[in-house]
Structures are given as structure tokens and as C-alpha cells.
């Protein structure tokens, strides 16, 4: 068996279905629209949040918002399921941040190091307001003092994949969120 097949042949147990995710994304958009200015800047952390951000920005449109979007590529996980601890910027936001209301988006909040790093970076570039939105929250795993303002699902303490989240760069394309069986 090839190295790739050894990963992609593993059974995935569904945790949150595509329909459940869609419902939560719409609920989040309604909450965000009620709480934030219409012309918010979405700052999505790549790669993990690209699927969530793509669905959320359209749900926000339906909820009456007229957001802009920009991306920041951060790396904290290398190939594997444990965090390296430090966070690196691979690509920074290109848009003007000073004075803006920013909705910082990530796929999952675990130790909190990634979002704490991104939030500090946005404040140092002059953001006026920063709200945090994550699809998944592993509350038990926090290593920093940070909480999200908008949360899709509480996530059990398992390594999850799909809907943008990867294991060794695989499984981002899954339309649902699941975990690797035997993990």
C-alpha cells in the first residue's frame, strides 16, 4: 500500500454531517449580523478555514451583511496530530486593517495559540475591533486565555478532519466533519 493510500483508506466516523454544518453556519451568520457592523472584514486563517469561510461569507450575505474577505496563512501543525507550539506566518493579510472591524475566522480553536497570535497581529496592524469565530471549539484543550465570540459546535477531544480540516494534508475535501477511527 502506498503512503497516501495508508492514510486515505482509513475509515472516517462522521461527527457532524453536511446538513448539520449548514444549519450551524446559518445560525452563526444570523448571530454575527446582529452583533457586528455591515462592512466587516473577514480575516480567514488558511488553510483550514477556507471551506468554512466560503460558506460563512455567503450566509452572511443572506443575513444582510456586505463583508470583505482577506486571508492569512499560519502554520502551527506540521504533518501529524500534535501541535508544534510555535505559530509562523506564511502569508500575511494584504488589505488595510487600521480602524476596521474584523471577524477573525478559524476552523477550530484548540490550545488557542493560533487565534491568539492572529489577534495580536491584527491589533498591532491597528484593527479597531476584533471578534473571533470558529466552527469547532475543543474547550478542554486551551493553553492560552482566549475564547471565541461565535462558535459553531463544541468538539469532542478527538482529531477531526473534513470540511477544510486535514490530517497530513488529506481529507480537507470531505463535505462532513469526522474523526479517524481507532484514533
Residue 55 binds which entry of ligand IMP, Mg ion, none, CB below 5-8 Å type-dependent? none
* Other residues' Cβ atoms within 10 Å of the Cβ of residue 50: 16
Q: Figure out which of the listed residues 160, 162, 163, 178 binds ligand IMP, where binding follows CB under 6 A.
A: 160
- How many CA atoms, within 13 angstroms, populate the side-chain half-sphere of residue 39? 3
Q: Figure out which of the listed residues 41, 42, 56, 112 binds ligand IMP, where binding follows CB under 6 A.
A: 112
- List the beta bridge partners of residue 49: none
Contacting residues for 98 by C-beta, under 8 A, at least 6 apart: 125, 126, 127
Q: Which is nearer to ligand IMP, 159 or 176 (CB)?
A: 159
Residue 137 interacting with ligand IMP (CB under 6 A): no
Q: Which range binds ligand IMP by CB under 6 A, 11-19, 33-41, 110-118, 121-129?
A: 110-118
Residue 48 interacting with Mg ion (CB under 5 A): yes
Quote the least distance from Cβ 103 to ligand IMP, whole Å: 16
Quote the least distance from Cβ 5 to Mg ion, whole Å: 25
Q: Looking only at residues 64 through 83 of this chain, which bind ligand IMP when binding is defined by CB under 6 A?
A: 76-77, 83
Residue 111 binds which entry of ligand IMP, Mg ion, none, CB below 5-8 Å type-dependent? ligand IMP
Q: Which element (helix H / strand E) includes 89?
A: strand 83-91
- How many CA atoms, within 13 angstroms, populate the side-chain half-sphere of residue 172? 13
Q: Which three cell numbers stand for residue 127?
A: 484593527
Quote the least distance from Cβ 183 to Mg ion, whole Å: 18
Site string for ligand IMP, 26-45 (x = CB under 6 A): -------------------x
Residue 111 interacting with ligand IMP (CB under 6 A): yes
- Distance CA(121)–CA(92), nearest Å, equals 9
Angle between helices 18-35 and 50-62 (to 10 degrees): 60
Residue 15 interacting with ligand IMP (CB under 6 A): no
- Distance CA(121)–CA(136), nearest Å, equals 22
Residue 162 interacting with Mg ion (CB under 5 A): no
Q: Which three cell numbers stand for residue 134?
A: 470558529
Amino acid at each position: 500500500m502506498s503512503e497516501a493510500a495508508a492514510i486515505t483508506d482509513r475509515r472516517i466516523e462522521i461527527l457532524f454531517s453536511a446538513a448539520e454544518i449548514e444549519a450551524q453556519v446559518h445560525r452563526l451568520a444570523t448571530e454575527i449580523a446582529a452583533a457586528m457592523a455591515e462592512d466587516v472584514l473577514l480575516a480567514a486563517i488558511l488553510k483550514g478555514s477556507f471551506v468554512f469561510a466560503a460558506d460563512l461569507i455567503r450566509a452572511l450575505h443572506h443575513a444582510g451583511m456586505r463583508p470583505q474577505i482577506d486571508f492569512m496563512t499560519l502554520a502551527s501543525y506540521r504533518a501529524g496530530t500534535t501541535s508544534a507550539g510555535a505559530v509562523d506566518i506564511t502569508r500575511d493579510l494584504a488589505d488595510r486593517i487600521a480602524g476596521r472591524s474584523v471577524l477573525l475566522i478559524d476552523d477550530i480553536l484548540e490550545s488557542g495559540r493560533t487565534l491568539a497570535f492572529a489577534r495580536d497581529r491584527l491589533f498591532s496592524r491597528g484593527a479597531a475591533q476584533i471578534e473571533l469565530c470558529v466552527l469547532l471549539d475543543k474547550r478542554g484543550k486551551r493553553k492560552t486565555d482566549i475564547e471565541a465570540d461565535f462558535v459553531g459546535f463544541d468538539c469532542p477531544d478527538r482529531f477531526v478532519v473534513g470540511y477544510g480540516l486535514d490530517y497530513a494534508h488529506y481529507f480537507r475535501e470531505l463535505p462532513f466533519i469526522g474523526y479517524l477511527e481507532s484514533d
